[in-house]
Structure 1
Amino acid sequence: MARRSDLVGLTVLAMLSVRPGHPYELHRFIVDTHKDYVTGLPRSLYHAVERLAAEKLIVPVETSREGRRPERTTYAITDQGQRELADRLRELLANPGSERRTFTAAVSLIGVLPVPDALQALRARAAAIEENLAAMDGHLKSLKDAGLPDVLTIELDYERTLSDTELAWVRRVVARLESGELAWSGTVNRDLLAQVLDKS
């Protein structure tokens, strides 16, 4: 999974890192918490679970049946799955080269990382965005100096503005993490997930 942008699989790993669950529960949680970057439900979710199980990132731990409902298999994340989740999340948070939807997904799941790991990844992202902005500024200046009218470079100005806004947001989150204002130790836990799932 680490070499592809598998947002559904990443979300499954994140949820199973909190507590074991079966695909129907995971589906309800995704819908109820508005993880709108996850598309193709429910088929994409079941395919992701099959794929993660085949890769030994999750394992079945129980099969149960309630009344006339179909059998439900509960899955738990493996140690390998935990490592994959942490590596992939850190990579997506730190690398501004990924598309914005992917970064939104990573931010949505940030609470499964230890705060120091999240902070380190976001600092790396801020530094990379600063470098990108400096390169964009140089490129825009060279085009302007060459006499190119602004209307022909307006899309570059748009991209620069988006990156500048993202940098400001990342810096605010880093500051909140550094000050302790934003913290989630003990917040993203089994009880919280159970509350959401029990409302489903």
Structure 2
Amino acid sequence: MARRHDLVGLTVLALLTVRASHPYELHRMIVETHKDYVTGLPRSLYHAVERLAGDELIVPTMTGREGRRPERTVYEITDEGRRELTTRLRHLLETPDTDRRGFTAAVSLIGCLPEDEARRALRTRAATLEGSIAGTRAHIRAMADSGLPAVLMLEVEYAQALCAAELDWITNLLDRLDRGGIDWPTTAPA
């Protein structure tokens, strides 16, 4: 899964930790659970399943037909697929990006990680955001001191406000986790 932000593939891996499924069932689960960051359905889903199977991150377990319906292949996630899912989720949680869909996907699928690992990743992201906000503040001050009109720095202020809002949300989430305010599975889905 070398593709940057292969959110469809990531979601397929996560859903297959819940239960083995065929692509049509995965499509229904994505729609029913409002994984709105997944785009290009259903074609993108079928391509993702092919890629994941080619990379041996998922494997077919059975093929069957019900009545007059088309033949359907059921897939399950491999141990390598679980490791890939964990690695990719951790990276998306830890690393801020201007394309926020990756973080949205990671938050949506965060329950696939053990709670302590998710906390560490969120704390890493929070520290990165704090550094970014401090750097942006210094940059805005320097530009103002140089005489640059504030109107030319509005997009920088906007980016800083987005980072601050995200940091606030993450801080609140970590606080809720610390207080036991969010039920977390004792193990990642099998």
TM-score bucket of the superposed structures, by smaller chain? over 0.9
User: Per-residue displacement from partner, 1:62-114 (whole Å, max 9, x unpaired)?
Assistant: 11110000011000000000000000000000101351111101111111111
Mapped to 1, the partners of 2:33 and 2:85 lie a distance apart of 19
**What TM-score, normalized by structure 1, do the two folds share?**
0.91
Mapped to 2, the partners of 1:183 and 1:68 lie a distance apart of 42
Give 1:197's aligned residue.
none
Mapped to 2, the partners of 1:2 and 1:87 lie a distance apart of 12
On the 8 A contact 1:96/1:129 being kept in 2, the answer is yes
On the 8 A contact 2:114/2:187 being kept in 1, the answer is no
Q: How far is the alpha carbon of 1:2 from its aligned partner?
A: 4.8
On the 8 A contact 1:129/1:163 being kept in 2, the answer is yes
Give 2:68's aligned residue.
68
**Residue-pair matches, total:** 190
On the 8 A contact 2:89/2:106 being kept in 1, the answer is yes
On the 8 A contact 1:92/1:98 being kept in 2, the answer is no
1:147 aligns with 2:152: no
Residues 86-165 of structure 1: pairs in structure 2 closer than 5 A: 86-97=86-97, 99-165=99-165
Q: How far is the alpha carbon of 1:119 from its aligned partner?
A: 0.5
On the 8 A contact 2:114/2:186 being kept in 1, the answer is no
SS in 2 for 1:153: helix
**What TM-score, normalized by structure 2, do the two folds share?**
0.96
On the 8 A contact 1:115/1:183 being kept in 2, the answer is no
SS in 1 for 2:63: strand
User: Per-residue displacement from partner, 1:112-162 (whole Å, max 9, x unpaired)?
Assistant: 111111101000000000000011011001000001111010110111001
SS in 1 for 2:62: strand
Moved more, 133-142 or 2-11: 2-11
* Residues 3 and 98 of structure 1: CA distance in aligned 2, closer, same or farther (over 3 Å): farther
Letter of the structure 2 residue corresponding to residue 89 of structure 1: L
On the 8 A contact 1:37/1:105 being kept in 2, the answer is yes
Mapped to 2, the partners of 1:182 and 1:155 lie a distance apart of 35
> Aligned residues: percent identity?
60
* Residues 75 and 83 of structure 1: CA distance in aligned 2, closer, same or farther (over 3 Å): same
Letter of the structure 1 residue corresponding to residue 29 of structure 2: F
Of structures 1 and 2, the one scoring higher in RCO (CA 8 A, sep 6+) is 1
On the 8 A contact 1:9/1:49 being kept in 2, the answer is yes
Letter of the structure 2 residue corresponding to residue 76 of structure 1: E
Give 2:25's aligned residue.
25
Moved more, 178-187 or 40-49: 178-187
On the 8 A contact 2:9/2:49 being kept in 1, the answer is yes
Mapped to 2, the partners of 1:146 and 1:40 lie a distance apart of 46
Give 2:77's aligned residue.
77
Q: How far is the alpha carbon of 1:183 from its aligned partner?
A: 2.7
* Residues 152 and 98 of structure 1: CA distance in aligned 2, closer, same or farther (over 3 Å): closer
Letter of the structure 1 residue corresponding to residue 44 of structure 2: S
